[in-house]
Structure 1
Amino acid sequence: MNMLLKAFNTPHDAAPFSKITNADYVPAFEAAIAETRAEIDQIVNQQEAASFDNTLAAMAFAGMRLDRISNLFFNLHSAETNDELDKIAQEVAPKLSKLSNDITLNFALFERVKAVYDQKDSLGLSEEQQTLLAKTYKDFVRNGALLPEDKKQTLREIDEQLSLLKLSYGEHVLADSNAYQMHIMDPQDLEGLPEGAIEAAKELAQEEEKEGWIFTLDYPSYIPFMTYAKSRERRKELAIAAGKKAYQANENNNESLVLKIVNLRHQRANLLGYASHAHFVLEERMAQDPQTVLKFLNDLLAKAKPAADKEFAELAAYAKELDQIEQLEKWDGSYYSEKLKQLKFNLDDEKLKPYFQLENVLQGAFDIAHKLYDLNFKEVGTIDKYHEDVQTFEVRDNHGGLVAIFYADFFPRKGKRNGAWMTSFKSQYRKDGQDERPHVSIVCNFTKPTASKPSLLTFNEVLTLFHEFGHALHGMLADTTYPNLSGTSVFWDFVELPSQIMENWCYEEEALALFAKHYQSGENIPMEYVEKIKESAAFLEGLATVRQLSFGLLDMGWHGQDPSHIQELKKFELAQFASTSMYPDVADNAMSPSFSHIFNGGYSSGYYSYKWAEVLDADAFSYFQEKGIFNKEVATKFKENILAKGGTAHPMKLYKQFRGQEPQVEPLLKRAGLID
């Protein structure tokens, strides 16, 4: 019997990973797609006049089995993939795209939605119901419900092509990442590297039955090498390999895919009556339109660029003085930044890492969530998992009620894509008097424990864990009726607020005291280190800000105009980077072929939202600082107005309910050291 097509009968209805086989997926998808179609047909063909309950609420709960299967499958496709899953993804993606279009282009269904929408003011709907109605109506219109039949068909074809192109794009990036290794035989090439990085590289070589040391493009291997390796030649080799991902003469080259994706997105937007893909996307964001985004990015750039120029000049002068470097290159940035940081603050990651044992940092995140939101985390062995590295937790409130199931997956492996993300295996919703609690997961790529050392995090990795945990809290604390408004189902430029605000606790003495303890002696992190962490937080922030803005501007370049004139990807990129570039260009590198956030993730026309959310998070955290970082009243307001509410109301309204005012940009500029 196909496990995906029957009741799981597991503790908390958790996914029975060990009982699901790859052969289950395609038949399960096909059956669940058919079931979803039947549910939609039932809504369309009923005799009763359209009402909120029999149409909108019924639609919100249609396809629940399919959602669950999709969540399980596509999460594994990111965290634990193999060739077979890649093939299944290619097979099911067009089927899911077709179903989605069959629903949004179903005119009879749209007519029922429109009938309810036209009388919305007289129905006495709650705010959440009003939001669901407006969102559903808009989704139909934004997905072609008002188009004539021939254009609807064109839209279907575009969507199907896009779903496959995006999958191929992601697979190419992963394939090129996995294919590369820097195999070192000369111990001199390891000079400057931390002991832990050398040990991990040695273990990797041993796994492959090779002598020497192996470094890869996985972050726990790549970042320490670029930050500490004295050998400039080897840094250059590794940096160029990273910049060539999906941009070299092999079957994984993504140049033509990028051009196809942006042109199809533009055609789709035009078909629906929008000037560009960015105009289409931003209509459903806090920013509203491309002009607002470009003004936001360029205003910040005007404030950050003078600081960045000054910082770059200082870095270049330092590299020249130290090592007679005449021209600072991209592979020098992290290395000399770290050296200069050590010189200025006498603080490096290697000094800090012993205080950031992974288990302690995770427990620290749990303790902070307990102090703020009354959450209690308990590791349990009764919940099935998809890999032995995964940890599983029950999350309960102070009365013992189940709040969520939490999965944590921390280490790199072959079938797992780079980076860090939060995802969900099951949404929160309320139905038939039952409050169904969410199953939430965070996935990272931290250094694995070695024979002699536990997993010790860099301070940046501590920030990453807290960031993803912030997203997880948004999912866990969801308190809504409809699954499609729950948790992180919010405007994309609002979704980073809960994650980015969590990073702030990592700089606070009161919070660090909970978890920053030496892994051998158990002593608390010295106060001078805490002071230095705070002081160094704004170190080279001008350069970091300009780099982040450059990505947002590249995204808007691809999506904020008609891309049909773009012939050469590299030439176009250079033009987009003209106002932000600091380092000389590297001829055989390009960013777009592996810029997964915007070509394979959900960030197209939305990369600016990281900076946008930083404005929100700096302003929101300044409220905590004013009242106390564990102030219960402020935490409760944040929980009730932001974390619990999901997408049930406009984010600016929710923010003002929490903060009592619109967000101000000054706290961010102060925090970044860009104004006094």
Structure 2
Amino acid sequence: MSESSGPIAAPTGNPLLQAWTTPFETPPFTEIVPEHFLPAFERAFTDHAAEIAAIANDPTEPDFANTITALERSGKLLNRVAAVFYDLVSAHSNPALLEIDKDVSLRMARHWNPIMMNAVLFGRIAALHDKRAELKLTSEERRLLERTYTRFHRSGAGLDEAAKARMAEINERLAQLGTNFSHHLLGDEQDWFMEIGEGDTEGLPDSFVAAARAAADERGLPGKAVVTLSRSSVEPFLKMSGRRDLREKVYRAFIARGDNGNANDNNALIGEILGLREESAKLLGYPTFAAYRLEDSMAKTPEAVRGLLERVWKPARARAMADRDALQELVTEEGGNFELAPWDWRFYAEKLRQRRANFDDAAIKPYLSLDNMIVAAFDTATRLFGVTFAERKDVPVWHPDVRVWEVKDADGSHRGLFYGDYYARPSKRSGAWMTSLRDQQKLDGAVAPLIINVCNFSKGADGEPSLLSPDDARTLFHEFGHGLHGMMSDVTYPSLSGTSVFTDFVELPSQLYEHWQERPEVLRRFARHYQTGEPLPDDLLQRFIAARKFNQGFATVEFVSSALLDLEFHTQPAASVGDIRDFERRELDKIGMPDEIALRHRPTQFGHIFSGDHYASGYYSYMWSEVMDADAFGAFEEAGDIFDPKVAKRLRDDIYASGGSRDPEEAYIAFRGRAPEPDALLRRRGLLETPEAA
């Protein structure tokens, strides 16, 4: 689809440009086709530009209402169209949408650049910011003014015209590169699969084979079974398959995504992205992109991030090396005449866990059906916050597998809708995420949120339920924690709604929510055998709890190494990075990365930091938030009740409901009564003990 030089006529009756008469005014997905998007974006860009011009050129003296509030009210159509479009591009794409995405990413940059660098508009904002102490603002209004000023300042609104022009060029190119990166990654993931026949299933449980058959059906291969490059397919295969040759084949394909020297190769893109990010940071007066990015975070500096990561790295590596030696002994004991390789780690770790903790994932998986874990996540929210969930069949969805629930508060009032899109399919990018179709706000009357969770769980075949691994179940609770952050939001202004917080705070509500999934109080009620309905046996429950800290050296090493590499990419001069593979090897050698463990995300597939910049220099955020979440759950443990009403009310008011309306450190201390205690993270991961004690 080519870019038009003039306005595009909308198809007759473009649903994106009409009032939605669906339940709760939700997007009418069944009526929307790709051809609707460019005309809708054209109209939305035009409308928004006119709104911005009216604010910037307002002849009256700037005040909070005619400048800051007016900005908050602008761009409603653009927000609406973009939310629908990006949901589809990520969760149910097709070639037409991906082609439009290339066009839209460039247009979006060209639309926002002149807004965020508008000197007249920034002058009005800066004038208000200068006299903010005199304006008699509420705490939320003060926070909004501060965040608005910061956003414009950091976008280059205060630069001279030459620097603004260059910044605009950089932003446009980065938008294109990020889109290309994600499309390349999706392309490699769609193109590869490995068929498994009768002789290839050694060690694989029936549930995995059923999921492999369902994945083949999705690819138009009825009667066959395939392993795909979805993490929910790869990791169980590496853990359970007795075929070492096939484990190696799957592993090598998985870590090579975006690094195959084909049309989907991402190496050159990374080099260009890093150079442009560094240039943009220097235009704004920062020595590195990491310094620029982290100034507007809880961490504040690259040194603070490195300090946390290195503090965790040392005990994690020690634990991993001790585990490596134990795994090698197991290989030798079984008569294996080979050195442990990365495609062996999960397989032998599972054997070692069975020996040490008498537990393996295959034993608990029949008790973790997707439907029951969804109900468990809902019930936990009900017991904590009083919200209830009722499934709705009358809300349009983008794929038949998507489910929708109406969320109500304890008093029965409508709070929002929750969409769950749980199954892997070729049209969906890998991973799991939360997003929204509409954010909560109260600026012009109560606006209820439309919140989405997207996952990539394997679908059961032939009517069998989807069975989750413990990691999958934890992912479901994690994303639902993000979902609650969006659903429980109770702020006035859209820019401060829900997850509109610092990146290294946004993972707190999600990672904190994971704790409930692992608790006996939850598992005893909802972990039931998918065939018999029998509850999880108590001895298996106890073994599961005892096994949780097993292999944490491996899990921590694969994460922290990725976070350190992200930091190095954005602190070292871009010109010194050179060949991406060589840089990766150099940095991993520098920290002593065990050869038997791969990065959780190799550079060419590191969508968190290269598909856009949301987590660039910020992948550490998951661990920064984990310091808080490990400490925060302690408030419930200290109360003697993981559903304690008083603690739950503070959690709702200070963390989930406040969105970005207050400083995150202030919000955390309001909930916990003090700053987080850093060693809580090491205790949770079992890394304070010596390796021999594990």
Q: What range is the shorter-chain TM-score in?
A: over 0.9
Q: Specify the alignment match of 1:544 in structure 2.
A: 555
The residue that corresponds to 2:10 in the other structure is: none
Shift of 1:323: 4.0
Residue 672 (structure 2) aligns with: 659
* 2:203 corresponding residue in structure 1: 192
Q: What aligned pairs does 1:272-671 form with structure 2 within 5 A after superposition?
A: 272-432=284-444, 434-451=445-462, 453-578=464-589, 579-583=591-595, 591-601=602-612, 602-627=614-639, 628-671=641-684
Task: Report the Cα distance in structure 2 between the residues aligned to 1:208 and 1:388, rounded to whole angstroms.
Answer: 17
State the Cα deviation string for residues 359-387 of structure 1 (Å, max 9, x = none): 11101111110000001000011111011
Preserved CA contact (<8 Å) 2:631 2:680: yes
Cα displacement string for residues 35-54 of structure 1 (whole angstroms, at most 9, x for unaligned residues): 00111111112221100111
Amino acid in structure 2 at the alignment position of 1:383: V
Contact 1:438 1:475 in 2 (8 A): yes
Q: Which residue of 2 aligns with 1:8?
A: 20
CA drift of 1:211 comes to 6.5
Where do 5+ consecutive residues of structure 2 fail to align? 1-12, 690-694
Check whether the contact 1:546–1:580 (CA below 8 A) recurs between aligned residues. no
Question: How far is 1:326 from its partner?
Answer: 3.0
Shift of 1:584: 5.0
TM-score (norm 2): 0.95
Work out the CA distance in 2 between the residues paired with 1:203 and 1:99: 42
CA contact (8 A) 1:60 1:482 kept: yes
Q: 1:118-137, aligned counterparts within 5 Å?
A: 118-137=130-149
1:467 and 1:273 map into 2 onto residues whose CA distance is: 37
Residue ranges of structure 1 left out of the alignment (5+ in a row): none
Listed as ranges, the matches of 1:128-167 within 5 Å are 128-167=140-179
Secondary structure of 1:431 counterpart: coil
Asked if 2 retains the 8 angstrom alpha-carbon contact of 1:550 and 1:580, the reply is no
Is 1:52 paired with 2:60?
Answer: no
Query: In the alignment, which residue of structure 1 is the partner of 2:9?
Result: none
Which amino acid counterpart does residue 93 of structure 1 have in structure 2? S
Aligned partners of 2:596, 2:346: CA distance in 1, in Å?
15
C-alpha displacement of 1:166: 0.4
Per-residue CA distance 1:596-624 (angstroms, 9 max, x = gap): 11111421100111111111000000111
In the alignment, is the contact (CA less than 8 A) between 2:366 and 2:467 conserved in 1? yes
User: What is the DSSP-based 3-state SS (H/G/I as helix, E as strand, rest coil) of the residue aligned with 1:450?
Assistant: coil
2: CA distance, partners of 1:590 / 1:360: 30
- Give, in whole Å, the separation in 2 of the partners of 1:506 and 1:51: 48
* Secondary structure in 1 matching 2:659: coil
How big is the shift at 1:590? 8.7
The reply on whether 1:267 has 2:279 as its aligned counterpart is yes
- RMSD between superposed Cα atoms in Å: 1.6
Q: Which whole-Å CA distance do the structure 2 matches of 1:524 and 1:210 have between them?
A: 34
- For residues 551 and 421 of structure 1, what CA distance do their matches in structure 2 show? 19
| Residues 478/314 of structure 1: CA separation in 2 closer, same or farther (3 Å cut) | same
Alpha carbons 2:368, 2:528 under 8 Å: kept = yes
Q: Which amino acid aligns with 1:446?
A: F
SS of 2:334's equivalent in the other structure is helix
Is it true that 1:34 corresponds to 2:46 in the alignment?
Answer: yes
**In structure 1, distance between residues paired with 2:391 and 2:196:** 40
Alignment of 1:168 onto 2:180: yes
Pairing 1:64–2:64 present: no
- AA at the equivalent of 2:519: E
- The answer to whether structure 1 residue 23 and structure 2 residue 23 are counterparts is no
1:505-534 deviation per Cα after TM superposition (whole angstroms, max 9, x unaligned) = 122111112311112222211111221121
- Cα distance in 2, alignment partners of residues 78 and 209 from structure 1: 23
Q: Distance in 1 between matches of 2:201 and 2:508?
A: 39
Q: Report SS of the residue matched to 1:225.
A: helix
Three-state SS of the structure 2 residue aligned to 1:424 is strand
Distance in 2 separating the partners of 1:638 and 1:522: 33
SS at match of 1:377: strand
Residue 325 to residue 22, structure 1, CA distance change in 2 (3 Å): same
Residues 313-351 of structure 1: per-residue CA shift (max 9 Å, x gap):
112212221242431111001111111111222222221
Measure, in 1, the Cα distance between the counterparts of 2:406 and 2:355.
44
Instruction: Encode CA deviations 1:209-245: one digit per residue, 9 max, x unaligned.
Output: 4775322112332222111111111100111011111
Q: Distance in 1 between matches of 2:57 and 2:221?
A: 64
Name the CA distance, whole Å, in 1 between partners of 2:360 and 2:293. Answer: 41
**Do the aligned partners of 1:142 and 1:272 also contact (CA within 8 Å) in 2?**
yes
Query: Within 2, Cα distance between the matches of 1:261 and 1:179?
Result: 25
Distance 1:586 1:134 in 2: 41
Q: Residue deviations 1:477-527, cap 9 Å, x none?
A: 000011111000000000000000111112211111231111222221111
> Would the alpha carbon gap of residues 146 and 304 (structure 1) be closer, same or farther in structure 2, given more than 3 Å must change?
same
Letter in 2 for 1:108: V
Contact 1:507 1:530 in 2 (8 A): no
Distance, in Å, in 1 between the alignment partners of 2:598 and 2:487 is: 43
Out of 391-400 and 524-533, give the one that drifted further: 524-533
1:218/1:399 CA distance change after superposition, 3 Å: same
Inter-CA distance 131–447: structure 2 relative to 1 (3 Å threshold): same
Instruction: Point out the more displaced range, 444-453 or 167-176.
Output: 444-453
User: Who is 2:6 aligned against?
Assistant: none
**3-state SS, counterpart of residue 381 of structure 2:** helix
Checking the alignment, whether the CA contact within 8 Å between 1:422 and 1:468 is kept in structure 2 is yes
- Partner deviation per Cα, 1:173-208 (whole Å, 9 max, x = no partner): 1101111121234x2321001112223334544664
In 2, Cα distance between the equivalents of 1:204 and 1:509? 33
8 A contact 1:421–1:442 mirrored in 2: yes
Question: Structure 2 counterpart of 1:410, which letter?
Answer: Y
Distance (whole Å) between structure 2 residues aligned to residue 585 and residue 480 of structure 1: 44
Cα distance in structure 2, aligned partners of 1:643 and 1:210: 45
**Cα deviation, residue 637, structure 1:** 0.2
Closer, same or farther: CA 74–340 of 1 in aligned 2, 3 Å = same
Q: Post-superposition shift, 1:591? A: 1.3
Counterpart residue number, 2:227: 215
* SS of match in other structure, 1:494: helix
Alignment coverage as a number of residue pairs: 673
Alignment of 1:74 onto 2:78: no
How many Å separate the matches in 1 of 2:463 and 2:381? 31
Per-residue deviation, residues 234-272 of structure 1 (Å, max 9, x unmatched): 100111011111111211111000100111111110111
- Larger deviation, residues 527-536 vs 653-662: 527-536
Corresponding residue number in structure 2 for 1:103: 115
Query: Shift of residue 585 of structure 1?
Result: 8.4
- Asked whether the equivalents of residues 391 and 404 of structure 2 are also in contact (C-alpha less than 8 Å), the reply is yes
Q: What SS class does the counterpart of residue 427 from structure 2 fall into?
A: coil
Report the alpha carbon displacement of residue 21 of structure 1 after superposing the two structures with TM: 1.6
Q: 1:493 is paired with a residue of what secondary structure? A: helix
After superposition, residues 200-279 of structure 1 pair within 5 angstroms as 200-205=211-216, 208-209=220-221, 212-279=224-291
TM-superposed deviation, 1:126: 1.1
- Looking at structure 2, the residues matched to 585 and 359 of structure 1 have their Cα atoms a distance apart, in angstroms, of 33
Aligned partner of residue 545 in structure 2, secondary structure: helix
Deviation at 1:553, TM superposition (A): 0.4
User: Normalising to structure 1: TM-score of the pair?
Assistant: 0.97
Q: Name the CA distance, whole Å, in 2 between partners of 1:568 and 1:597.
A: 20
Aligned-partner residue type, residue 682 of structure 2: L
- Distance in 2 (CA, whole Å) between partners of 1:59 and 1:325 is 67
The whole-number CA distance in structure 1 between the counterparts of 2:498 and 2:592 is 35
